[in-house]
Amino acid sequence: MRARLQALVLALMLLLAGCSSGGTRDDGRITLRFQSLAWQEESVEANRQLVAEWNAAHPDVRVEYVQGSWDSVHDQLLTAFEGGEAPDIIHDASDDLADFAYGGYLADLKGLLPARLKSDIPQRSWETTTFGDGVYGVPFLQEPRVLIANATWLRKSGVRIPTPDKPWSWAEFRRITERLSGGGKYGVAWPLKEPVSATLNLSLSAGGRLFHRGPDGKVTVRFEAADQTVPRTIHDQANTDRSASPTTLGSGGSDTLPGFFGGRYAMVPLGFSYRQQIVQQAPKGFDWKVLPAPAGAAGLTQGVSPQTLSIAEDCPHKKEAAEFLGFLLRPQNMVRLALGDWMLPTGTQALEDPALRTTRHGWAAGTALAAHLRPAPAQTIRGYPEWKDKVATPALQEYYSGAIGLGELRERLVDDGNLVLARYQR
């Protein structure tokens, strides 16, 4: 019995050792755990293929593919970091990195990455993963928000079709959606189950900032005129013009597609990657088009939170992990990852690839927006997740539904919001 117990304990110890981060086998081979959040079939396949190609070419540094989930990644990583069991290479989004970076869980990549990769990705993208003096992730995929439009409906209506060179203004967009509405049909369906990022990122086009960093480095919230352009437009479309469907305000993007295909909405503002679902689900003969989001005082500027790849601070083989990142994000590989996720690469060389410049499925319309993408307003702000969940999300949802007015929205975003942020900046 005692021997069996000892054998069981030994087996458990070996199992736990096999789950630890960044191991080295007795034969000298390094194993790195790469947690990917890819979820679309094409994206998972592209990631797995690239891992297999690396492993075939690097027998002494094996990468183990681990499947993660966007739905639970923050809490899962926090638990893994605190328990010393974090993956070596971490797929996440830039707006989720601040607390991990400041908490010492992520490695500073400044001296680890190949020069080619550092120069190929624009500085504006690197700003999304820079916290203090360190760089804690490689931004590699980005997703502009676009208008997916029923091309037949717009063509028959005779409205001016916007282009990246001549986009609609927010005022023109409101007038057009009102013109397209009537008879139980709506000019636009806003899927705003998660309203904060859409509102803040699109507000950059109007010059909105919302978050302001003072000389002492502390951040405060101010809801000024430029910050009001986008939320007022959405509110007035839904509550004054009746040109936005009220039933989709609490919906996710996928929830709007059946009504869009059924001719209930002329347009839906969606992330660029939703094109894959549209290609897969649209009825035969359904004619759709990708249009730029409306422009404001700052043109087509909009905020993005790129997908990122980071290295855990506890990883004992940071050099090898960085070499894998260099391989994974070579221009031709970045194109493969972008095509798999139906998103845009951050790399300038990858963006020039003909596969991303075709008019088919609106790829060219998206790449035309790449130069206008900027860091999302809340990128480096500690306490943003709590502000978003406890303050901004319920306040914006109530404002868009018509339950509260602009004054109360301002009061909650600013007064309640600053109380939350202050706790993180003492």
pLDDT in tens, 396-419: 999 999 999 999 999 999 999 999
Q: Which residue has the higher pLDDT, 363 or 22?
A: 363
Q: Is the pLDDT of residue 11 over 70?
A: no
The mean per-residue pLDDT over the stretch 214-231 comes to: 95
CA–CA separation, 232 and 386 (whole Å):
24
Tokens 């705003």, located at residue = 192
Q: Which domains does the chain have, with CATH numbers?
A: 19-142+305-375 (3.40.190.10), 145-292+383-422 (3.40.190.10)
Beta strands (DSSP E) in 37-99 are: 61-67, 89-93
What pTM was computed for the model?
0.89
C-beta separation of 39 from 325 below 8 A: no
1 against 381, higher pLDDT: 381
- Residue/partner pairs of 409-415 with CB below 8 Å, 24 or more apart: 409/223, 409/231, 410/223, 413/210, 413/221, 413/223, 414/221, 414/222, 414/223
Banded model confidence at residue 28, pLDDT cuts 50, 70, 90: confident
Q: What is the mean pLDDT of residues 154-178?
A: 97
Identify the band that residue 27 occupies on the pLDDT scale cut at 50, 70 and 90.
Answer: low
Q: Which of 285, 74, 65, 294 is nearest to 175 (CA)?
A: 294
Question: Which pLDDT belongs to residue 24?
Answer: 58
Q: Which residue in 211, 240, 285 sits closest to 406, CA to CA?
A: 240
Tokens 């990644």 correspond to 73
